[in-house]
């Protein structure tokens, strides 16, 4: 991730989508206190999230801390999303991008209750997760996928954890047919065992795919898209 995420179309496209979701649904009119739960290598927290306020990153793994420090992330804690080291009502916004689906998160419901606990009343959570369990592929093995989600499942989980769901949408919709073909191809013609989608050299397609994915951002933020490879949601903590 650290090697590719500054230029890979998927990260850049998802960043455009996330920005618009924040601008439309969080509408920050003052700097926010943000927790990036499962911050990975610190890319989001040190780039676009930092434009909306003060960002604290949490991740379970030492390598994540190391890479985030290389990116000059200041506020970091090595901890699990299942047991966050913060007092209640510490943050205005919790973001968590592609984390709750991991085998390292024993219970997504517990993690969401932790997010609700550390949020101020009426604070918001912004989630992104991989969609549809039937789409599991080789990449899922490499990134330790426990489960993939439908919009309905994510909505229910958020509601049960104490959030009012303000917006749910699929994302990465236009490239969906291509991805489905690729996943089907993988099961028919297995390739290298340790390959992941991030190691794909998309070459000249990088710009094209980035443009396609970024073009979905206004539709996702305003109306929502009916299917896709990822699912995104915005929830507001009940007061």
Site residues (CB under 6 A) for ligand SAM? 1, 38-40, 43-44, 59-61, 64, 80-82, 97-99, 102, 104-105, 143
The two tokens of residue 172 are: 């990465």
Whose Cβ is closer to ligand SAM: residue 107's or residue 207's?
A: 107
22 φ, ψ (degrees, to nearest 5): -65, -45
CB nearer ligand SAM, residue 26 or residue 55: 55
CB of 224 to ligand SAM, least distance (A): 21
Alpha helices in 38-107 (DSSP H): 43-46, 62-70
Q: How far is the CB of 103 from ligand SAM (least distance, A)?
A: 8
> Cα–Cα–Cα angle for 111, 46, 113, nearest 5°?
10
Q: How far is the CB of 75 from ligand SAM (least distance, A)?
A: 15
Each residue of 50-63: b (16+ CB within 10 Å) or e?
Answer: bebeebbbbbbeee
Nearest CB to ligand SAM, comparing residues 26 and 111? 111
Phi and psi torsions of 125, nearest 5°? -120, 140
Nearer to ligand SAM, 64 or 126 (CB): 64
- Cβ 37 to ligand SAM shortest distance, Å: 7
């Amino acid at each position: 991730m650290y090697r590719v995420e500054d230029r890979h179309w998927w990260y850049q496209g998802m960043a455009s989508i996330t920005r618009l979701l924040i601008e439309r649904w969080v509408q920050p009119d003052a700097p926010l206190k943000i927790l990036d739960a499962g911050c990975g290598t610190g890319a989001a927290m040190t780039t676009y999230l930092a434009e909306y306020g003060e960002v604290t990153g949490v991740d379970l793994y030492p390598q994540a801390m190391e890479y985030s420090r290389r990116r000059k992330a200041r506020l970091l804690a090595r901890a699990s999303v299942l047991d966050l080291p913060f007092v209640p009502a510490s943050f205005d916004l919790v973001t968590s991008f592609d984390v709750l689906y991991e085998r390292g998160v024993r219970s997504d419901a517990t993690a969401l209750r932790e997010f609700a606990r550390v949020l101020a009343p009426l604070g918001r959570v912004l989630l992104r997760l991989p969609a549809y369990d039937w789409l599991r592929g080789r990449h899922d093995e490499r990134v330790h996928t426990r489960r993939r989600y439908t919009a309905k499942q994510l909505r229910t989980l958020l509601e049960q954890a104490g959030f009012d769901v303000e917006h749910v949408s699929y994302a990465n919709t236009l490239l969906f047919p291509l991805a489905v073909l690729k996943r089907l191809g993988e099961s028919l013609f297995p390739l290298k065992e340790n390959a992941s989608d991030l190691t794909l050299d998309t070459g000249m397609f990088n710009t094209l795919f980035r443009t396609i994915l970024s073009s979905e951002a206004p539709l996702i933020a305003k109306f929502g898209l009916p299917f896709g490879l990822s699912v995104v949601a915005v929830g507001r903590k009940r007061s």
